[in-house]
């Protein structure tokens, strides 16, 4: 039996501390936004979760390519872990965004490019799990999963560009002066600090969760092998 690595335990503790600090920065340290009030504070976690969600998707596509080249099952575990953890973070991003959009845009949901792309991406993630669930042979499952993440990774940016042709109301917070009308805001220094802390906290949490999930994938495989051995 493999011992849990010490570094992973350290990451666990760091994640908990990081989330606590990020919560403090978002809820207490950052100044209240002048127009929107306290609901704007959801933004810090929204950006944090969206960031790791996107990173995971890119990592999964990259791992898919490496798997197809090397046929090493470790990359398949990495890819599945990235998709699983990211799917969860992406879902949280969408929920947090809706919570903010209700008072800011006066609607829970709108078919804006980013929102639509997020929804389509989440559906690709779900389709990925359904695909994997339908295949018994681990090697074939890994191959199909890799091909599908690759297609998803190619399609998501084009989806975004196509929907961009339709009107957008999602605020571009960084580097856009005319965002006020869309519910955007200029960030003060403390706000930027809170956002960066949240980004760092979620990155640590993401790495920790990924590690756990990859480790779990390895253990699952071992259990399968042991079961086979017993039944023989």
Partner 1 sequence: MTSSPSFFKAVFAIARKDLATEFRSRELISAMLVFSMLVILIFNFALELNPDARRTVTAGVLWTTFAFAGTLGLNRSMAVEKDRGCMDGLLLAPVDRSAIFFGKAISNLVFMLLVEMIVIPMYAMLYNETRIFQLEFFGVLLLGSIGYIAVGTLLSAMSVQTRTRDVLLPILLFPVAVPVLLASVKASGGIVAGLPFEDYVTPLNLLIVYDVIFLAGSYMSFDFVVEE
Residues that bind partner 1 (CB under 8 A): 68, 120, 123-124, 126-127, 130-131, 134-136, 140, 143-144, 146-148, 150-152, 154-155, 158-159, 161-163, 165
d(CA 144, CA 148): 6
Q: How far is the CB of 167 from partner 1 (least distance, A)?
A: 13
Q: How far is the CB of 139 from partner 1 (least distance, A)?
A: 10
Render the burial of 72-91: b for 16+ CB within 10 Å, e for the rest: eeebbbbbbbbbbbbbbbbb
Bridge partners (DSSP) listed for residue 33: 37
d(CA 110, CA 210): 31
Q: Sort 69 into a burial class: Cβ within 10 Å, 0-12 / 13-18 / 19+.
A: exposed
Our CB check for partner 1 shows the closer of 155 and 203 to be: 155
Our CB check for partner 1 shows the closer of 48 and 153 to be: 153
Q: How far is the CB of 5 from partner 1 (least distance, A)?
A: 33
The residue behind tokens 């350290």 is: 10
208: Cβ–Cβ under 8 A, 6 or more apart, which residues? 8, 11, 12, 14, 15
Side-chain-side CA neighbours of 218 within 13 Å: the count stands at 14
Our CB check for partner 1 shows the closer of 139 and 220 to be: 139
Our CB check for partner 1 shows the closer of 155 and 168 to be: 155
Our CB check for partner 1 shows the closer of 27 and 126 to be: 126
Q: How far is the CB of 16 from partner 1 (least distance, A)?
A: 35
Our CB check for partner 1 shows the closer of 148 and 202 to be: 148
Q: How far is the CB of 83 from partner 1 (least distance, A)?
A: 13
Q: How far is the CB of 130 from partner 1 (least distance, A)?
A: 6
């Amino acid at each position: 039996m493999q011992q849990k690595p010490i570094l992973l335990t350290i990451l666990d503790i760091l994640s908990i501390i990081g989330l606590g600090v990020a919560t403090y920065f978002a809820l207490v340290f950052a100044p209240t936004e002048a127009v929107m009030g306290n609901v704007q504070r959801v933004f810090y976690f929204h950006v944090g979760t969206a960031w790791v969600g996107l990173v995971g998707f890119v990592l999964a596509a990259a791992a898919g390519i490496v798997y197809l080249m090397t046929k090493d099952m470790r990359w398949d575990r990495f890819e599945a872990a990235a998709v699983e953890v990211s799917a969860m973070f992406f879902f949280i991003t969408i929920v947090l965004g809706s919570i903010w959009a209700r008072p800011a845009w006066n609607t829970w949901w709108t078919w804006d490019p980013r929102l639509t792309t997020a929804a389509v991406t989440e559906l690709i993630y779900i389709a990925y799990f359904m695909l994997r669930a339908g295949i018994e042979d681990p090697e074939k499952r890994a191959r199909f999963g890799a091909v599908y993440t690759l297609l998803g990774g190619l399609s998501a940016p084009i989806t975004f560009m196509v929907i961009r042709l339709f009107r957008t109301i999602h605020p571009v917070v960084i580097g856009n002066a005319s965002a006020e009308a869309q519910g955007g805001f200029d960030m003060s220094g403390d706000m930027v600090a809170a956002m960066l802390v949240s980004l760092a906290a979620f990155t640590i949490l993401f790495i920790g969760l990924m590690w756990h999930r990859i480790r779990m994938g390895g253990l699952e495989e071992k259990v399968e092998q042991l079961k086979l051995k017993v039944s023989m």
